Amino acid sequence: MLRITDVHAHYDEKAFDCDRSDILTRLHADGVSFIVNSGSDVPSSQRSVNLAHEYDFVYASVGVFPLSAYDVPDGWIDSIRSFASDERVVAIGEIGLDYHEADADREAQKRVFRAQLDLARDLGLPVVIHDREADEDVLEELDKRPVKAMIHRFFSRSEYGKAFAERGIGLGIGPAITYPDAGELIKTVEAIDSSLILLETDAPFLPSASRAGMRADSSDIIDVISAISRIKRISEEDVAEIAYRNAAALFGIRR
């Protein structure tokens, strides 16, 4: 049985309210060794911590992601700091920059991003980064505030994948690699060292191509492993084991 890891999921989302316990129990029984459930604002970060206490194979990352940066409540960074002190929290995230919308307030996003990078450095925790059409600025901020990091759901040009890899930053490879438009992602996976590959689903948001239109869950990692196996010309068992070791090392997980 493959040792499957999913380093970025959102099982606290309403999409799982009807069967959360059933699906998490099944996934663990089917070989999912551990999951990192990610917060995207203060309330979801609290839910992630709660979930991690309920299931011993679920860990939490806590943070405010860029599209939640515009209306953060007073004392938000203190809340994230408090959550991060919990023994079940393994990272600050998801945090980052998102320039997809033309009216994105880049300076507001950067202020929140920088505050959380500083927090991660203070606490000695890695960060999970949301980067959408903001590669240059993400690289600049990480060069100014170096910290252990991964790029969540990487799907940018391969030149940026290589730039992150040169800095030792892991790349979260998810179901996007199973779709026909994954050419740049495939180039990236071909080019980077396997020690930087992490597996994720972003559940419930992006299923593999074979399940397009359905709710994503960690079982979609199987299709991701198969795709990486073909690209790297190594066995599926090796892909899963390498990704397991990479995730355990980044997040300090011992199982």
Residues in the chain predicted with pLDDT less than 50, given as ranges, are: none
Check: pTM over 0.85? Answer yes or no. yes
The answer to whether the CB of 106 falls within 8 A of the CB of 137 is yes
User: Which CATH number fits the domain that encloses residue 123?
Assistant: 3.20.20.140
The 10s digit of each residue's pLDDT in 58-82 is 999 999 999 999 999 999 999 999 9
Question: How confident is the model at residue 255, as a pLDDT?
Answer: 76
Tens-digit pLDDT profile for residues 216-241 = 999 999 999 999 999 999 999 999 99
| DSSP assignment string, 42-100 | HHHHHHHHHHHHH-TTEEEEE---GGGGGGPPTTHHHHHHHHHTSTTEEEEEEEEEE--
What range does the domain containing 72 cover?
4-251
- The tokens of 121 are what? 């450095």
Both tokens assigned to 87 = 């023994």
Element (H, E) at 237: helix 236-251
Residue 99: predicted pLDDT: 98
Domain count, the chain: 1
Q: Which of 5, 11, 66, 3 is nearest to 37 (CA)?
A: 11
